[in-house]
Structure 1
Amino acid sequence: MLFVIEEETQASRFSIHRLAHYCLDLAELMKIDCVVPVVIFLNTGKRAETQTLGDDRHTYLNFNYLACDLKQRSAEDYKDSNNIVARLNLPNMYHARQYRLQLYPAAQLGLVRNETAPNKIRKYSDFIDYYADLTEQEVIEYQQHYQTKEGDLMGMVKIWTEEGLQQGLEQVLEQGEKIGKKKECIALLTRILRRKFGLQPALEIVLQQLPKQEMERLEDLVDALLDFTDIKDLENWLGL
């Protein structure tokens, strides 16, 4: 059995002819007849449900597919799911606006509990951030009500375990002789600190200057970061 999965952000862009073409090509290539087309729609909208080719006497092709409309699935039904795909997509499922801030940590916790690879955690955390699209006020509320209340899992850097964070940063630092890698490391550090404490623009400017320093300076900050408890620790470390 072969599953052919397509994601469509805008339903209006979906082409059932294109999907049928892909399925026929793959069936011929793989020499298989059991092909299951699945389309995941991020947003609702009009689209073709089936495609029939024929005339008054015969039907020569009758093609349809399985559809998953994320906006028609209730996020409440999946907020405690062990299915990592469901947890990642909580922001894309149906929910009242006032519950979005509750779904955001539920999605992040689902990621941490069901994925162990640091690189994938960072990648899919960005996915959650993008689709959750929290306002500045919601970010502040998140820091006040979730990062302090949920303990180390949510309070450290929200999604990375200390070991995963350390490994991820060390991987960047290992290649840090090139200025591009230094900037990548600083970008990661800045994002972590922004999520943990919130950063004033002046502090972000100071952090952006760190790539001009020696790599040992960045390594020291990586080690120190794991012990920071508030923004004053960062300011003291920077000598401000």
Structure 2
Amino acid sequence: MRKYRPQEQWQGLSALSFGLTPLSWFTKLLFKYNKWTKGMDGPKRVSHDQNFKNLIIDYPRQAIELFSPEEARHIGPKARVVPLRQEQLKERLGERFRELDVPLMVEWPGGEREALLFVLEEETDPDRFSIHRLAHYCLDLSELCKTSRVVPVVIFLNTRGSEPVQLNLGGDCHEYLRFHYIRCALQELNAEDYWESSNLIARLCLNLMKWEEEQKLEVYARAVRGLSTLEPDPEKQLKYIDFIDIYSALDDNEMEQYKAQYPQESNTMATLSERLRAEGMQQGMQQGMQQGMQQGMQQGMQQGEAAALKKLISLKFGELPRWAEAQIQSAGVPELEVWLEAILTSDTLESLLNRH
């Protein structure tokens, strides 16, 4: 069985490169974006924590259903699943706040059942996992939310199978604390079991599951098909087509084979890339074309790169605050290019724009 290897994220071409004309300046911008994602200019760290935080926030119910199926069966369709507000957690937990973990609160209408808190933690490197830290964080959230109904879940992208699953504290006479969590190791899940899953997170994560080497293209195709059929929102399709691409690691030859064997899925990606290009061209070049050629192209470049940066920021961090929009609009092309390179490895908008 094939095992997921983190270094593969820096190989291959991005799906967003399909269907773009080589002379378009926006094509060059997309190509640079693909290089930042894949490390063609040298390996750059992709924030797996941020990727999965986005995934869980966008699809909280499906996250619970995939990563903790036994608990999910008792929730029911009437319950509301919402992420806890990060601002409130940061203010009240202080240094104990963990920005990239995602607590989800399940609430039932009319208070018919006591709310249930899920604490989802993603771990790329199993050596970094600490069950003591997780237990401490769950106790903090339990105290903060005034509830003992807490479900800790750890999502391992990689695993050695030796991570501690239970913490027991006690003495010679009694055990005083017993803590364990739901363990979900993606590379131990069989991708074939989720071929036709209606759970979008499962389809997006097919590349991270276990599959035979000869199934590589099919895994990729089924992930793309799942995104196009289960997510009607074009904005989120744009957001998560690259998520699939990051974890697929198709090289040039495999990408050509994929386009030949799966034309429908390939056309889906081409359509998305054309839409992204059209948006950038429309926003960036419309004003520039009305002015002198050299000045207009320069201004078009600035407007287009600013538009692309704002699009990526909104997809990664949410709504763009006024101060950030003003800073982006007043920036020149070199500064915009620096920010475009840094966005994939920045954990906060403030750190990206050097606002402290």
TM-score of the superposed pair, with normalisation by structure 2 = 0.47
Matches within 5 A, 1:110-189: 110-147=226-263, 150=264, 154-155=266-267, 157-158=269-270, 160=272, 166=275, 168-169=276-277, 171-173=279-281, 175-176=283-284, 179-183=301-305
Code of the aligned partner of 2:121 = E
1:5 aligns with 2:120: yes
User: Is 65-74 or 120-129 further displaced after alignment?
Assistant: 120-129
Cα deviation for residue 47 of structure 1 reads 1.0
Q: Contact (CA 8 Å) 1:173, 1:181: kept in 2 or not?
A: no
Code of the aligned partner of 2:148 = D
- Please point out which of 220, 224, 232 is paired with 1:108: 224
Q: Contact (CA 8 Å) 2:228, 2:268: kept in 1 or not?
A: no
Code of the aligned partner of 1:96 = E
Q: Contact (CA 8 Å) 1:109, 1:159: kept in 2 or not?
A: no
- Cα 1:65–1:180 shift into 2, 3 Å: farther
Other-structure match for 2:168: 52
User: What is the aligned-residue RMSD (CA, Å)?
Assistant: 2.5
1:21 aligns with 2:21: no
Cα deviation for residue 154 of structure 1 reads 3.8
- Distance in 2 (alpha carbons) for counterparts of 1:25 and 1:51: 17
Code of the aligned partner of 1:134 = L
User: Is 118-127 or 176-185 further displaced after alignment?
Assistant: 176-185
1:86 aligns with 2:208: no
- Distance in 2 (alpha carbons) for counterparts of 1:180 and 1:120: 25
Other-structure match for 2:40: none
Question: Alignment partner of 2:178: what SS?
Answer: strand
Q: Contact (CA 8 Å) 1:108, 1:158: kept in 2 or not?
A: no
Unaligned runs of 5+ in 1: 188-210, 212-240
Q: Contact (CA 8 Å) 2:189, 2:209: kept in 1 or not?
A: yes
- Distance in 1 (alpha carbons) for counterparts of 2:203 and 2:140: 33
- Cα 1:75–1:59 shift into 2, 3 Å: same
Other-structure match for 1:77: 193
Code of the aligned partner of 2:200 = I
Cα deviation for residue 157 of structure 1 reads 3.3
Deviations along 1:61-106, one digit per CA (max 9) or x if unpaired, are 1110001111111000101111000000000000011101111010
- Distance in 1 (alpha carbons) for counterparts of 2:210 and 2:167: 28
Matches within 5 A, 1:220-231: none
Code of the aligned partner of 1:82 = S
Code of the aligned partner of 1:182 = G
Q: Contact (CA 8 Å) 2:207, 2:244: kept in 1 or not?
A: yes
- Cα 1:32–1:180 shift into 2, 3 Å: farther
Other-structure match for 2:37: none
- Cα 1:106–1:125 shift into 2, 3 Å: same
Cα deviation for residue 127 of structure 1 reads 1.0
- Cα 1:180–1:61 shift into 2, 3 Å: farther
Larger-Rg structure? 1
- Distance in 2 (alpha carbons) for counterparts of 1:62 and 1:159: 52
Cα deviation for residue 170 of structure 1 reads 5.5
Cα deviation for residue 7 of structure 1 reads 0.7
**Sequence identity (%):** 42
Q: Contact (CA 8 Å) 1:42, 1:71: kept in 2 or not?
A: yes
- Distance in 1 (alpha carbons) for counterparts of 2:306 and 2:245: 18
Cα deviation for residue 18 of structure 1 reads 1.0
Question: Alignment partner of 1:132: what SS?
Answer: coil
Code of the aligned partner of 1:5 = L
TM-score of the superposed pair, with normalisation by structure 1 = 0.68
